[in-house]
Amino acid sequence: MNLSDIKEEIKGLVNKEVMLNVTGSRSKKQMYKGIINEVYPNIFTVLVNGVNKSFTYADVAIGDVKIYHM
């Protein structure tokens, strides 16, 4: 999947609830449940417990961020 496909898929999820599985540094994994809030040219934001968290489309492309539809 290329970046433009990923952007289009995420645009379709705006204002919808998702689960995110995020792999950070040192292979630390975190799960977030939130709503995709905004979509920008290089990033998208997810509202998690009243806090906006931002992620890049490249993170999704390489598998560091996995999005599960609810």
Which residues sit opposite 29 in a β-bridge? 23
Q: Locate tokens 């609830």: which residue?
A: 17
Query: For residue 70, what are its two tokens?
Result: 């609810």
In this predicted structure, the answer to whether residue 8 has a pLDDT above a threshold of 90 is yes
Domain span at residue 27 reads 3-41+51-69
pTM: 0.90
pLDDT in tens, 27-69: 899 999 999 999 999 999 999 999 999 999 999 999 999 999 9
Which pLDDT score is estimated for 24?
86
31 occurs within a structural domain: yes
46 occurs within a structural domain: no
56 occurs within a structural domain: yes
Q: What distance in Å separates the CA atoms of residue 22 and residue 65, rounded to the nearest whole number? A: 5
What is the domain count for the chain?
1
Which pLDDT score is estimated for 27?
82
pLDDT in tens, 9-22: 999 999 999 999 99
Which pLDDT score is estimated for 26?
86
